Structure 1
Amino acid sequence: MPAAAPRALITRPEPEASQWVQALAARGIAAAALPLMAIAPASDPQALAAVQRRLADYTAVMLVSGNAARHFFESNQALALMQQAQAAIKTRVWSPGPGTASVLRALGVPAERIDQPAAEARQFDSESLWERVGPGVSAGDRVLVVRGSEPGASTTGSGRDWLSAQIRAAGGEVDFVVAYTRAAPQFTHDQLALARSTAATGGPLWVLSSAQALGHLCAALPDQRWDGARALATHPRIAEAARAAGFGAVFECRPALADVATSIESHA
C-alpha cells in the first residue's frame, strides 16, 4: 500500500523534524520532514568548554532551544556538569518551552532544576519565561544564555536581547556563549521540487518554527510565488514573516507538538 500523502511539512532542524514526523504519525497524521535549517557544532569549542567549566558561577543557565541544550550538554554528562561543585546547587536551568525542557530531561538535567513558562502560556518564548523566572532575579545574579550563531558571526551569538534587558534591569548580569551554528541546508533536487509543487498547488501545510529558516527557503527559490501555499506558524513573528514572503494563507498556533497536531487536523 502506498504511503499516505503528507498533510504537513515539518521544517524544524534534524533530529527534531524526523522525531515530529514520527510523533504525528502515531496520532494518525501523515507528515514529511523538510528541514529549512542545518545545525552544526560551535565554531569555537574551546570557548564553550571554558564556560561549561564555570557553570557553578551562574545563578541560571538559559538554553534557547533543544539544539542549544544538546550541544551544551551532549558531550558531557549533564548531571555531572550540574553537580561539578557544591555551589552549582543554586544553578537553575531555564527553558523557553516544553520541547527544550523535554530535551534537557532526556540529557540528564533533573526536572526539579528546570524552569519554564506556565503550561497555559499563550506562547512559549522569552516573554512567557520571564513571567515565571523574573520575580526570582535580583541584583548580583549572573545568567548564562546558551544560543546559536551563524557561520562567521560573533562567538557570543545573537538574539534574546529582550530577555537580557530584563535581567539587567533587575540588577543581574548576562553572559552569552555559542553552542551551535545555524546555516542554510543543502537542499536536494527532490526537496526543491516538493517545495515548488506545494507552493503551486496548496498541498500540505508548511509548519514553520523559525523566520530565519523561512528565509533560507525563500533564498533557495528566489523567483517562487507562495500565494498558493499555506503555512502554520508557531509564533506571531513567524506568521508575519510568512505573510511578508507571500504565503496565501497563514495560520498560527502554539509551538507544542500537541497544539501543532490539533492545528494540522483543523487546517489540513
Structure 2
Amino acid sequence: MTARAIVTRPAREAAQWVADLQARGIAAQALPLIAIGAVTDPALRQALRQARERFASYRAVMFVSGNAAQYFFEENQPQSLTQQAQTAINTRVWAPGPGTVAALRQAGLPGQRIDAPRADAEQFDSEALWQVVAPQIDRGDRVLIVRGTNTPGAEGGNGREWLARQIAAAGGAVDFVAAYERGAPRLDAGQLTLARAAAGDGSIWLLSSSEAVAHLTGALPEQDWGRARALATHPRIAQAARAAGFGSVTQCRPAFNEVAASIESPHEH
C-alpha cells in the first residue's frame, strides 16, 4: 500500500493532481498551501488592463504559471483579448512548463505560438525556458512577464528576476504585471489536523513551491517536522524543506509521471 501523498499546490491545480494520482492508484489528498485569487488592488488591476491592451506590442509574453495564464485570459474578459493574442503574429508566448502550456492552450492560444522547455528538460523553470527562447531577443525588444503577486509592487520570484536579467543582458527590456494574488491560506481545523498527522504518519508531502513550505511552517509554528517526508520538484524547494526541518527530502522533476513514480518508490524516501 502506497503512502498517502499530500498535494500542496493551489486548490485548482491540487484538485487535478489529486484526481490524476488517485487514478494511478496513489492515495492522495489536497492540502492547498497557497491561496490564489484575482488581483484586487486598483493600481494592479489598472496595470493588468493596460498590459492586455498592449499584448501585441511585445516581442514575447511570458506566463510564470497556469494561474498567470488563467487570470490574464480570465473567462469574463472579452473574446477579443484571446483573438488579439492569437493574431499578434510577432508576439511569442513563453511558458516554463507543461502546466502553463496546457493553460495557454485552454485559453485558445495555438501551440505553434508557444515556446517552452522540452518535455524531457531537467527542470521546468526560467533557466530551462531561457535556453529555448534566448535567440528570440534582439536589442530594443520588450518582454512582458505575467506573474502573481504577494504584495503590491512585488516583482515575482527569483527565477523571474533572473530571466529579466538575461533579457536585459541581451539588449531587451522587461515589464512585469500581476494577474493574480498569492497568499497564505486560512487552514481550517480539519486541515490543521491533517497537517499535524501528516508530519509523522509516513505521508509524502508533495512540495512544488518554497512559498508553500513557509506557509505550512507559519500555520504550525510549534510543529516538529523531523519525521516528515517531502518530495520536492526543484532544488530551491528541497532546500526550503530541509531548512524547515523535514527529516526526509527527496527531489524529482515536476513531470507527473516522475512525481508519481517517486511516490511509488519506498526506497527513495
- 1:33 paired with 2:30, answer yes
Aligned position for 1:248? 247
Q: Is 1:67 equivalent to 2:70 in the alignment?
A: no
State the Cα deviation string for residues 158-210 of structure 1 (Å, max 9, x = none): 54111000001001111110001101001010111111111133x21000000
Matched with 2:264 is 265
Q: Secondary structure at the match of 1:167?
A: helix
Deviation at 1:79, TM superposition (A): 3.2
Map Cα deviations across residues 99-142 of structure 1 (whole Å, 9 max, x no partner): 11011111111111000012221111010000000122111111
Equivalent residue letter for 1:79:
T
The answer to whether the 8 Å contact 2:3/2:263 transfers is no
Match of 1:119? 119
How many Å separate the matches in 2 of 1:164 and 1:157? 10
* Aligned-partner residue type, residue 81 of structure 1: Q
In the alignment, the residues of structure 1 paired with residue 194 and residue 154 of structure 2 have an alpha-carbon distance, to the nearest angstrom, of: 35
Q: Distance in 2 between matches of 1:73 and 1:232?
A: 31
- Say which SS state the counterpart of residue 236 (structure 2) adopts: helix
Question: Partner amino acid for 2:222?
Answer: D
Q: Where does residue 184 of structure 2 map in the other structure?
A: 184
Counterpart position of 1:204: 203
Q: Residue by residue, what CA displacement relative to the aligned partner does 1:135-159 show, whole Å, maximum 9, x if unpaired?
A: 22111111000011114x3165554
- Counterpart for residue 195 of structure 1: 195
Letter of the 1:227 counterpart? G
Question: Matched residues, percent identical?
Answer: 57
Distance in 2 between residues matched to 1:123 and 1:130, nearest whole Å: 12
Map 1:159-174; keep pairs closer than 5 Å. 159=158, 160-174=160-174
- Aligned partners of 1:39 and 1:5: how far apart in 2? 30
Partner letter of residue 192 of structure 1?
A: L
Q: How many residues align?
A: 260
- Give the TM-score of the pair, scaled to structure 1: 0.93
CA-based RMSD of the aligned residues comes to 1.6
Distance 2:2 2:119 in 1: 32
Rounded to whole Å, the distance in 1 between the matches of 2:179 and 2:258 is 28
Output one character per residue of 1:62-89: Cα deviation in whole Å (capped at 9) or x when no partner: 0001111100012333631314xx6x21
- For the 8 Å contact 2:155–2:161, the answer to whether it is kept is no
Q: Which residue of 2 aligns with 1:79?
A: 82
User: Please, which moves more after superposition, 15-24 or 73-82?
Assistant: 73-82
- Structure 1: 5+ residue runs without aligned partners? none
- Counterpart-to-counterpart distance in 2, 1:10 and 1:157: 23
Q: Distance in 1 between matches of 2:45 and 2:24?
A: 39
Counterpart secondary structure, 1:225 = coil
Please list every run of 5 or more consecutive structure 2 residues that lacks an aligned counterpart in the other structure: none
In structure 1, what is the Cα distance between the partners aligned to 2:2 and 2:264?
14
